[in-house]
Amino acid sequence: MQRKQITFIGNRRKSIAILAVAAGVGVLGVCALLLGHPLFGVVLIVAAAAPVLVSLPVAVSPRSRYLHLDPNGFEVRVWRDRVRIEWADVTEFRWGSHHGSAVIEVGYAEPTGHESHTARIFNRYNAPLPYVMGKLVEWRLRYAPQR
C-alpha cells in the first residue's frame, strides 16, 4: 500500500549545532567588548545573532520547517512562509549548488503564466538530501498528469 503523504521535518540536531557555534561566537564578541575592542565585539555579536534567529525556531519546534508531499503536490514551510507547488506545475527536479552546498532545484511554471521559475530545497530536513530528491522525483512521476 502506498502512502498518501510524506512530511520531512526540520533537522533539530543541525539547528542545535548551529546554535552552539553561534553561542561561541557571541561569547567571543562579549570577551572582545570586555577587553576593549568594541567594534570587533559588536561585529561578532551581530554575526552570532543571525544564525540564532534562523535556527532557534527549528531547535524549539522542528515542525516549524517542513517539506510535505501529497498526491496534489508539495508544500515547503520556512518560518511563517508557505509555498505550495502542484505536481502539474513542476517541470524538473535537478541538483544545484547554493554557496557551495548541495540543494535540490525545482523548475516550475506559474499556473497563471508561461514564465519559468526555480526554487531551492536546502539540506535542512530529517532525511538525507538524496533521499528527499528520490521521493520528490518518485511522487512527481506517480502523481503528475501525463503531458
C-alpha grid cell for residue 75? 508544500
Q: Assess whether 84 and 131 both reside in one domain.
A: yes
Domain contains 118: yes
| 68 plus 55 within the same structural domain | no
Share of the chain above pLDDT 90, in %: 39
Residue 138 and residue 78 share a domain: yes
Q: Are residues 45 and 87 in the same domain?
A: no
pLDDT of residue 128: 93
Q: What is the mean pLDDT of the chain?
A: 85
- pLDDT of amino acid 116: 65
- What pLDDT band is residue 19 in, cutting at 50, 70 and 90? confident
The verdict on 74 and 139 lying in the same domain is yes
**How many domains does one find in the chain?**
2
Task: Render pLDDT for 69-109 as a digit per residue (tens, 0 to 9).
Answer: 999 999 988 767 788 889 988 888 999 998 898 999 998 87
pLDDT at 68: 92
Look at residue 16 and give its three-state secondary structure.
helix
Give pLDDT tens digits for 24-65.
Answer: 999 999 999 999 999 999 999 999 988 887 777 766 776 678
Same domain, 70 and 133: yes
pLDDT score of 112: 56
Q: DSSP readout, 19-53?
A: HHHHHHHHHHHHHHHHTT-HHHHHHHHHHHHHHHH
Which residues, in sequence order, are CB contacts of 43 under 8 Å at separation 6+?
Answer: 29
Residue 4 located in a structural domain: no
Q: Name the residue type at position 8.
A: F
Query: Could you tell me if 72 and 137 lie in one domain?
Result: yes
pLDDT(111) > 80: no
Please give the pLDDT value at position 46. Answer: 92
pTM for this entry: 0.69
Domain CATH for 117: 2.30.29
Residues 90, 35, single domain; the answer is: no
Q: Assess whether 56 and 80 both reside in one domain.
A: no
Residues 89 and 43 in one domain: no
**What is the pLDDT at residue 136?**
94
> Whole domain around residue 30: which residue ranges?
11-62
Indicate whether 31 and 83 sit together in one domain: no
